[in-house]
Structure 1
Amino acid sequence: MITLYHNDMSVCAQKVRLVLAHKKLEWEGIHLNLRAGEQFKPDFLQINPKAVIPVLVHNNNVITESNVICYYLEEVFNQQALMPEDPIKRAELRVWLTRLDAGLHEQVAVISFCLAFRKQLLSRYATKEALEGFLSNIPDPSRAMVMRDMLENGISSPRLTLAIFAYKKLIKDLAYALESNDWIMSSGLSLADFAFLPYIERLEQLQLQELWQDFPQIDEWLTRLRSTDAYKIGMAEWHNQDYIQLMSQSAEPLPAID
């Protein structure tokens, strides 16, 4: 029995649902409304004290961290393999996914909050007391510090500048990998494609397609992925149109990054 604690528009949850769909695995979902703070409820904190999703429960074993979950699914359910057979290629794939854990995941969150979600949260927690209460619920002090910076500084946050710079570098690297291949790995469709798809689509939803306007291979890669059943089941069926509209209506200008 597979149970997934997830959220419809979480990029981390999206990547796990893509893998589940690609492998045609049946699972039971427990959806958490992150903007309503359901991840801070005591019953979920017992499952993951870090108060983050996704969390996979398989045969009463709890697995956290989205990339770890994807590796686990690949190791336990070997149908429709998403890891190359060659050890060197497997190492190359792991390097790609490590980039997300090493900063790119947090940086897309910075971009999303600074451009689209900051005003919503400030409206929801309109008083200083309410805002401090929200921040105090975040178990990880470093995450709370980042959230405070984004809420207080918005597009003036230096974290946003660094995040845009990092994604410009990623786009160039993806474009280079896709110059002569349909997929990120020359060995074929892999965990790397499903891992990075939610992040690139998030930039698109934030109206940041300009970041790859000189790299048509990125749009071609997106088109190929969106034609898969995994995308239709793991992402498209879960699209929250209100959430997407909120992102698309962001009027905050991006800082110029060369």
Structure 2
Amino acid sequence: MPILSTNDPAITSLKGIHVYHAGISNCSMRVRLALEEKGLKWVSHEINLGKQENIQPWYLAINPKGLVPAIVHDGVTVTESDDILAYLEEQFPQPALVPADPILAAQADMWFDLAVSMHIRAIKTWVYGSMHGATKKKSDMEHYADVQPDKELVAFHRKSLEGFSNADVEAARKMIAEAFDKMELRLANHDYLVGDAQSIADIAWLPQYIVLGTIGFDFTPYPAVRAWAKRQEQRPSYKPAITNWMPRVPGWALRIAIKLKRAFAGLKSVGQHAQTKT
């Protein structure tokens, strides 16, 4: 578990749970959901990723990788959403989000690990590829590459500047569809992904569903998943963890904007191809 050591009094002097997060970041959503499910009080520090606040010196002192979320609990810093959830479960075991039954616990870990493993190679690739959007400006990329030790992330952001191919986006879509096929099978006859109670499995996958749905992923083939998501929305944790941090732009308006951007990108590609031929 990456508990980071620091002598910075601005960090070590913090009392209570301080959460450094971004609104629609699925990893941030997981941590907020876990905190709310456990009924814990926390202090919000929202990080503006668009303004590159995550790679400013003050935040790199908290998380040298420049990633959200991170928490500081009574001066102790923990990073990475999976490790933060493990830390919260250890420090605040009730109500439990990891089943007591070892078989169910292993199943919950499997679902969580699957969500984490798909974050860059499937979820982020499909989202940014579908939006035809770069994750960073060219002017910011070199600085990001200098301060970001995670080479996979650097490679992903460089790729987003070049533009994801249709093959990249389709491969990501298929990977996502396969995961939701598995969820559909499970949820067709169960209220939760594991056992008969909320767990880290549900917390891992609800943010994926929200982010993908916001961008326009087609969940029509997954009625059981959609019903599960509706049940999740009724939980007391949903509003303070999710609704309060979502963009004020309605989902339908965002999807129209994305469709227009896709159409423009297609026209631009045709124009560039025509210029190349002439």
Give the TM-score normalised by the residue count of structure 1.
Answer: 0.87
93-102 or 11-20, which moves further after superposition?
Answer: 93-102
- Cα RMSD of the aligned pairs, angstroms, is 2.1
Q: Is this contact kept in 1: 2:34–2:203, CA < 8 A? A: yes
Q: Is this contact kept in 2: 1:135–1:147, CA < 8 A? A: no
Residue 44 of structure 2 aligns to which amino acid in structure 1? G
SS at match of 2:72: strand
Cα shift at 1:202:
0.9
Cα shift at 1:107:
2.1
**1:53: which partner in 2?**
68
Q: Give the distance between the partners of 2:108 and 2:88, measured in 1 at CA.
A: 15
18-27 or 111-120, which moves further after superposition?
Answer: 111-120
The structure with higher relative contact order (CA 8 Å, sep 6+) is 1
**1:185: which partner in 2?**
194
- Aligned match of 1:164 in 173, 177, 181? 173
Q: Is this contact kept in 1: 2:26–2:208, CA < 8 A? A: yes
The alignment status of 1:7 with 2:14, answered yes or no, reads no
Cα shift at 1:141:
2.9
Question: Identical aligned pairs, as a percentage?
Answer: 27
Structure 2, unpaired ranges of 5+: 1-15, 264-278
SS at match of 1:146: helix
Provide closer, same or farther for how the CA distance between residues 184 and 117 of structure 1 changes in structure 2, counting only shifts above 3 A: same
**1:250: which partner in 2?**
258
**1:144: which partner in 2?**
154
Q: Is this contact kept in 1: 2:17–2:73, CA < 8 A? A: yes
Q: Is this contact kept in 2: 1:104–1:166, CA < 8 A? A: no
Count of aligned positions: 244
Give the TM-score normalised by the residue count of structure 2.
Answer: 0.81
Larger C-alpha radius of gyration, 1 or 2? 2
Q: Is this contact kept in 1: 2:134–2:157, CA < 8 A? A: no
Q: Is this contact kept in 2: 1:97–1:195, CA < 8 A? A: yes
Cα shift at 1:100:
2.1
Could you give the per-residue CA deviations for residues 26-57 of structure 1, whole angstroms, max 9, x where no partner exists?
A: 01111110111000001111111111010011
SS at match of 1:250: helix
Q: How does 1:22-171 map to 2 (within 5 A)?
A: 22-116=37-131, 118=133, 121=136, 125=137, 130=139, 132-133=141-142, 135-136=144-145, 139=148, 140-154=150-164, 156=165, 158-171=167-180
Residue 231 of structure 1 aligns to which amino acid in structure 2? Y
Cα shift at 1:85:
1.3
SS at match of 1:30: strand
Q: Give the distance between the partners of 2:250 and 2:81, measured in 1 at CA.
A: 21
Q: Give the distance between the partners of 1:13 and 1:37, measured in 2 at CA.
A: 16
